[in-house]
Structure 1
Amino acid sequence: MHTRFPRRAAFATLALGAGFALLTGCTTGNEPATETGGSGESSDSCSIGMTQINQTAIFFTEMNAGAQEAADELGCELTIANANNDSARQSSDIENFVTQGVDAIIVVAIDVNGVSPAVESAQSQGIPVIAIDAEVEGVDTFVGVDNEAAGAEAAKWAIDAGLVDGKSYGVVDAKSSFIQNQREDSFRAAIDAAGAQYTQSVNGDNVQEKAATAAQDLVTAQPDLDFVYTTGEPATVGAVAALSADSATKIIGWDLTAEVIAGIDDGLVTAVIQQDPRQEGVEAVTEVHSILGGAEPQGFIDVPITIVTSDNVDDFRETFK
């Protein structure tokens, strides 16, 4: 559980209808970040640098879209740099933003400990830093899910649904991701105590192709698993790719995509813990704008999860069609 931050949610009233075309502030990961703004207008009083984990997972591109929409609405200039899963590069992104003289920085951290020195350096120069998705110690505000609590919530759902006692399972995770480790540890602790039989975890490295190979290795080594728990979008998509629709091994995991929704329709995917990355992006930029306007940082903005099953998946089809 997060204990340092007060649980205060902020709700933006921004329209969220625009698509990925708004991501004009994103870099490809093959060139240095350049300052761009979706509205085409510069803002001397609200320039924001955002360092993103990668630009391949829909979760992150949706987050970028929400951040860009909020920046356009509020008159902020947003630059998004792609760290491409490289924590050292992410620290360099932050240092570059400081050199460029941005007013605030948003961090979607790969390694929450590794990025801390760069965050502290930025703050020492009076630059507010907001973290999304993964909590970085000492930031002005963290926007996202309490991942440890959400893993426990998902476990409780599975236990209450009768999917755990006496069942064997494995995990496809991302060892380098602090938050995915939290999701795994809290989920496993609860279901193991409820009678589940853990076999092994395999590392998908938060990359879809690697996760698919890892998932295939897992189910080959453990052919009689009752279910696989996946800790993020690449792992969930990879597990769907590795298992056939009629597999006796089911999936409980994190983050929807079109492929994962098809897995729910086929009965392969039992449940998905769904975050709202677009709203996280909106909330982060809105918080930055408020802080730069003189407001006190909120500390923690909780964006709740939804557990998606065949009963409510229709609510999400439009986003992932």
Structure 2
Amino acid sequence: MSMKRGSVPLRWIAVPVVGLMLFAACGESGVGQAPESAQGGGGESRICMMPKLVGIPYFNASQKGAEEAAEELGVDLTYDGPTEAKAALQVQMIEQFIQQGCQAITVAANDPNALAPAMKKAMDADIRTGAWDADVAPDAREVFVNQATFQAIGYALVDIMAEQTGGKGEFLVVTGSLTAPNQNAWLKEMKERMADKYPDMHVASLEPGEEDLQLGIDVTTDYLRANPDTAGVFGITSVALPGAAEAVEQLGLDGKVAVTGLSTPNDNKQYIDAGVIEKFVLWNPIDLGYLAVHVANAQIEGKMPESGTFEAGRLGKVKMLAPDEVLLGPPVIFTEQNINDYNF
């Protein structure tokens, strides 16, 4: 089995999971440069897997799980993505994957519709297609690996915030890009939860952080200075949450402005310890990457079920939510009591 990212075999790439990283450079255009010979050897199945971007702890953790599954299954894996969360760069890389002879392409989309034509081109080339973490347009892929239901995530975020704010107030949401399908789906469920259960809670503003830590800090800081009565901030990406927490801490608003969202434990432990964040939500991105490779391999082998459960290695049986959707499981709520039990 061989695994590649760019021109370096993945099995030799260290996967950092502590602290936010600068984006890794993968070519002048921001697109990871593919190896000249991208075919797996020995008749192995060839899976090409793309995150929204490379170089942040969340997708490094997913890479770790993907590598584990590829090793277990004996498949050839290329895990690569752009250095910025830009759909146009992903489109370029999908075109590269098609030319490289991938048997399955699975992507975490920055824009579901922008990626659709390239994914349909892959389908026309008889390549198995899928999405994970963030879906593409349903008619442009065969299966979506969902980390948790949109409702479960959206409801959990709002319930946590309501506990800290008495179920009322105006709130800032810092997202990734305004076109990110998973974040938009979570936001929809958040607003529905507020309307149904907490009518005095309102999303006052949605600001894009573009998966950039400093931008997340800046937009949160600027907004809170302009809107001092804000009750809380939701950071709904792995980079947006620590950015929002850092802004609140720098402004001396910890204990006054509540902060929650979605991110990795290692990037937020310091804010839990400092009392800036009480609780936040995620799933295990290592397991998500692991599951996505198992699903892609089953697609290649023609063994994907359309209902019931799907057998996924060490994860055991996972649920088929629909003929074209696999569910990793319920979200995890991280607190001071359990955050040290996780390392990603």
Q: Does the pair score TM above 0.5?
A: yes
Determine whether 1:188 maps to 2:191.
yes
Determine whether 1:300 maps to 2:297.
no
How far, CA to CA, are the matches of 2:37 and 2:213 in structure 1? 29
How far, CA to CA, are the matches of 1:260 and 1:59 in structure 2? 12
Query: What's the counterpart of residue 284 of structure 1?
Result: 292
Q: Are the equivalent residues in 2 in contact too, given 1:276–1:303 (CA < 8 A)?
A: no
How far, CA to CA, are the matches of 2:115 and 2:338 in structure 1? 37
How far, CA to CA, are the matches of 1:77 and 1:36 in structure 2? 13
Letter in 1 for 2:151: A
**How many pairs align?**
295
Q: Closer, same or farther in 2 for the Cα pair 1:311/1:161, shift >3 Å?
A: farther
Q: Closer, same or farther in 2 for the Cα pair 1:301/1:19, shift >3 Å?
A: farther
Instruction: Return the TM-score normalized by structure 1.
Output: 0.83
What is the percent sequence identity of the aligned residues? 24
Determine whether 1:21 maps to 2:21.
no
What's the secondary structure of 1:21's corresponding residue? coil
How far, CA to CA, are the matches of 1:155 and 1:168 in structure 2? 15
What's the secondary structure of 2:14's corresponding residue? helix
Counterparts in 2 of 1:151-190, with a 5 A limit? 151-155=153-157, 157-158=159-160, 161=163, 163-174=165-176, 175-190=178-193
Q: Unaligned regions of 5+ residues in structure 1, if any?
A: 1-17
Query: What's the counterpart of residue 44 of structure 1?
Result: 43
Instruction: Return the TM-score normalized by structure 2.
Output: 0.78
Letter in 2 for 1:133: D
Query: What's the counterpart of residue 91 of structure 2?
Result: 91
Shift of 1:45: 3.4
How far, CA to CA, are the matches of 2:340 and 2:75 in structure 1? 34
How far, CA to CA, are the matches of 1:241 and 1:159 in structure 2? 18
What's the secondary structure of 1:310's corresponding residue? coil
Determine whether 1:265 maps to 2:268.
no
How far, CA to CA, are the matches of 2:195 and 2:227 in structure 1? 18
Q: Unaligned regions of 5+ residues in structure 2, if any?
A: 1-10, 17-23, 307-323
What's the secondary structure of 1:196's corresponding residue? strand
Determine whether 1:149 maps to 2:151.
yes
Shift of 1:206: 1.9
Query: What's the counterpart of residue 35 of structure 2?
Result: 34
Determine whether 1:66 maps to 2:90.
no
Query: What's the counterpart of residue 252 of structure 1?
Result: 260
Stretch moving more, 242-251 or 57-66: 242-251
Q: Closer, same or farther in 2 for the Cα pair 1:35/1:192, shift >3 Å?
A: farther
Give the CA RMSD over aligned residues.
2.6
Q: Are the equivalent residues in 2 in contact too, given 1:204–1:211 (CA < 8 A)?
A: yes
How far, CA to CA, are the matches of 1:227 and 1:42 in structure 2? 52
Please give the per-residue CA displacement for 1:9-44, whole angstroms capped at 9, x wherever unaligned: xxxxxxxxx996269xxx84225122799xxx8342
Q: Are the equivalent residues in 1 in contact too, given 2:191–2:202 (CA < 8 A)?
A: no
Determine whether 1:76 maps to 2:75.
yes
How far, CA to CA, are the matches of 1:35 and 1:257 in structure 2? 37
Stretch moving more, 114-123 or 198-207: 198-207
Q: Closer, same or farther in 2 for the Cα pair 1:160/1:206, shift >3 Å?
A: closer
Q: Are the equivalent residues in 2 in contact too, given 1:20–1:61 (CA < 8 A)?
A: no
Determine whether 1:233 maps to 2:238.
yes
Please give the per-residue CA displacement for 1:223-245, whole angstroms capped at 9, x wherever unaligned: 23221111111110111221217
Query: What's the counterpart of residue 5 of structure 1?
Result: none
Letter in 2 for 1:183: W
Letter in 1 for 2:215: K
Query: What's the counterpart of residue 9 of structure 1?
Result: none
Shift of 1:315: 2.1
How far, CA to CA, are the matches of 1:52 and 1:207 in structure 2? 15
Q: Closer, same or farther in 2 for the Cα pair 1:48/1:36, shift >3 Å?
A: farther
Post-superposition, which runs of at least 4 consecutive aligned residues in structure 1 deviate over 4 A?
Answer: none
Query: What's the counterpart of residue 314 of structure 1?
Result: 340
Q: Are the equivalent residues in 2 in contact too, given 1:170–1:198 (CA < 8 A)?
A: yes
Q: Are the equivalent residues in 1 in contact too, given 2:157–2:280 (CA < 8 A)?
A: no
